[in-house]
Amino acid sequence: MAKALYGHIGQAPNKRLLEEVVQLRARVRNLETELAELRSREDEIEHDHVEELMRLHEPALT
């Protein structure tokens, strides 16, 4: 069994598998970038909304 394990470890990595890992890592980077942009945009919208609410005049109590 030790020889079988050693043979498995000693084999060259599968080229197709390596390419897939590279593509998946690139996809994760793209998604992380997109998420950061969306969060930033959401923060800007929230900030603008708060400013708009602050400009509204409250009705006077009579």
Write down the pLDDT at residue 2: 61
What tens digit of pLDDT does each residue of 15-57 get? 998 999 999 999 999 999 999 999 999 988 888 777 777 777 7
Helix (H) or strand (E) holding 38: helix 15-55
* Whether pLDDT at 61 is above 70: no
Write down the pLDDT at residue 45: 86
The token pair at 2 is: 């030790």
Hey, what's the torsion of the CAs at 20, 21, 27, 32, to 10 degrees? 170
Burial 39-52 (b: 16+ CB within 10 A, else e): eeeeeeeeeeeeee
Write down the pLDDT at residue 47: 81
